[in-house]
């Protein structure tokens, strides 16, 4: 809806420019065509807004796609300053053109709306603080998919049978999971020490070697169940009503990060500073469920203006969550490996727990979403929020997370095995 409001506001400005220029004696040869196009475009937006109020999502999706086509045609004709933006997305242009042909919208034409009122030209700049920032190509492809799947558009706070897992991974697991796993690891080791089980285990060379690995797996399973079981139960209940339709919802994903160490574009820290200075209204920018940096392009060269980066593309929400789940499992295994190792090395239960909690919370606090330094690529806590990593909200890729967490798990397990060979754990 914010995108539609912004487009309507833009058209109001273009309309006023024609009136201003007319008063100055400036007339355009295609002025009637311009006014007709603006009127028709504004009508599309108003109908889409009405459909949203009535929750007629099929009509809303159709009209939002149509609005995207108008904007796409306008972008193709805009002046030289923005032609780079169109070219930047050239790899998607063919796909968009096919959608336009499939939807029988090839007749849509938009005249050049450039004007001569240079002294007020700055008012044509989009309100870059508006939360919806889907580029034209992303917009058209999104609503085309929604129409094909019969889905309603969603926002970042909506909860259904599928998005409940997105919110759990994003809001609950990172901090709660860290604390819970530290406590479970402490409890598991301390019980073995109190009950004398540990003496029996270390008396057998075979069991001694496997002790930390077995405890890590068992505690990880318990952690996983405790963190996700409530969401599973809620999902089953909600799914009885919504039939799990949102599993097909197109979700922006950092596609390059799924198979490479490439870092995602991230200027969220700069955005937050601009908010603090009063230069921007909000640093919260979403496409559906996913939060992203405001500007795309490469190294903030503003090429793509308010668009997501080209390294982002759509993926079904179900597949998105599977990738996030893989990363989450590895992060849980890493946390359990680390807490188990600490509690094995340190005899005192209380000291072991305090060190585990302090270390985890310190690492958690030093890896905010605003981190962009290459060094944090090797910090396992940079991957604590699986959905931000898969989405490209944070700087560090899914692939690097898989490699880094796997290496840390392997190192901790090897070190734990070495310690178990030498240490008396009375």
**3-47 pLDDT tens trace:** 788 788 888 888 888 888 878 877 777 888 888 889 999 999 999
Give the per-residue pLDDT at 15: 83
Tokens at 78, concatenated: 């805009």
Q: And the tokens for 295?
A: 């500007």
Give the model's pLDDT for residue 86. 57
**The predicted structure's pLDDT at residue 20:** 82
What is the model's pTM?
A: 0.87
Strands 250-254 and 290-291, sheet pairing: unpaired
pLDDT along the chain (426 residues), means of 10: 77 84 78 88 94 94 92 70 58 85 91 65 40 64 93 90 95 90 81 68 71 88 93 96 94 92 86 76 77 60 53 92 98 94 84 90 92 94 96 95 98 90 62
pLDDT at position 122: 44
- Residue pair 367/376 in contact by the 8 Å Cβ criterion: yes
Which residues, in sequence order, are CB contacts of 364 under 8 Å at separation 6+? 174, 175, 178, 381, 384
- Give the torsion sign (CA, 267, 272, 278, 282): positive
Residue 48 pLDDT: 95
Q: At 365, list the tokens.
A: 């606090």
Q: Are 362 and 371 in contact (CB under 8 A)?
A: no
Residue 124 pLDDT: 42
Residue whose C-alpha is closest to residue 180's, from 223, 231, 225, 229: 223
CA pair distance 191, 186, nearest whole angstrom:
9
Strands 290-291 and 286-287: antiparallel
CA distance 324 to 315: 12
């Amino acid at each position: 809806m914010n995108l539609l409001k912004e487009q309507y506001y833009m058209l109001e400005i273009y309309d006023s420019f024609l009136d201003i220029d007319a008063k100055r004696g400036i007339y355009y040869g295609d002025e009637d065509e311009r006014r007709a196009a603006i009127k028709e475009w504004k009508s599309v937006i108003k109908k889409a807004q009405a459909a949203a109020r009535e929750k007629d999502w099929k009509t809303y999706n159709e009209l939002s796609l149509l609005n995207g086509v108008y904007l796409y045609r306008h972008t193709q004709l805009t002046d030289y300053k923005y032609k780079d933006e169109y070219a930047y997305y050239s790899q998607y242009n063919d796909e968009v053109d096919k959608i336009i042909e499939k939807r029988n919208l090839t007749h849509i034409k938009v005249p050049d709306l450039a004007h001569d009122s240079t002294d007020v030209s700055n008012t044509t700049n989009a309100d870059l603080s508006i939360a919806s920032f889907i580029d034209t190509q992303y917009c058209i492809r999104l609503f085309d998919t929604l129409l094909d799947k019969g889905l309603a558009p969603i926002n970042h706070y909506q909860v259904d049978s599928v998005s409940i897992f997105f919110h759990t991974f994003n809001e609950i697991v990172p901090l709660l999971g860290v604390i819970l796993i530290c406590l479970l690891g402490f409890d598991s080791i301390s019980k073995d020490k109190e009950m004398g089980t540990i003496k029996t285990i270390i008396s057998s060379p075979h069991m001694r070697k496997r002790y930390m690995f077995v405890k890590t797996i068992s505690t990880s399973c318990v952690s996983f169940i405790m963190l996700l079981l409530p969401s599973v139960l809620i999902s089953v209940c909600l799914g009885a009503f919504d039939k799990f339709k949102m599993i097909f919802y197109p979700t922006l994903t950092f596609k390059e990060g799924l198979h490479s160490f490439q870092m995602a574009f991230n200027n969220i820290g700069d955005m937050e500073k601009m908010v603090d200075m009063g230069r921007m209204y909000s640093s919260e920018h979403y496409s559906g469920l996913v939060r992203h940096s405001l500007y795309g392009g490469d190294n903030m060269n503003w090429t793509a203006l308010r668009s997501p980066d080209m390294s982002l593309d759509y993926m079904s929400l179900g597949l998105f969550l599977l990738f996030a789940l893989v990363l989450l499992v590895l992060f849980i295994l890493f946390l359990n490996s680390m807490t188990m190792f600490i509690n094995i090395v340190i005899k005192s239960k209380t000291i072991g727990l305090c060190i585990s909690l302090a270390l985890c919370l310190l690492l958690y606090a030093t890896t905010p979403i605003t981190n962009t330094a290459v060094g944090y690529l090797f910090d396992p806590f940079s991957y604590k929020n699986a959905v931000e990593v898969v989405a490209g909200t944070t700087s560090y890729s899914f692939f690097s997370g898989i490699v880094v967490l796997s290496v840390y798990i392997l190192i901790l397990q090897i070190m734990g095995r070495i310690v178990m060979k030498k240490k008396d754990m009375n």
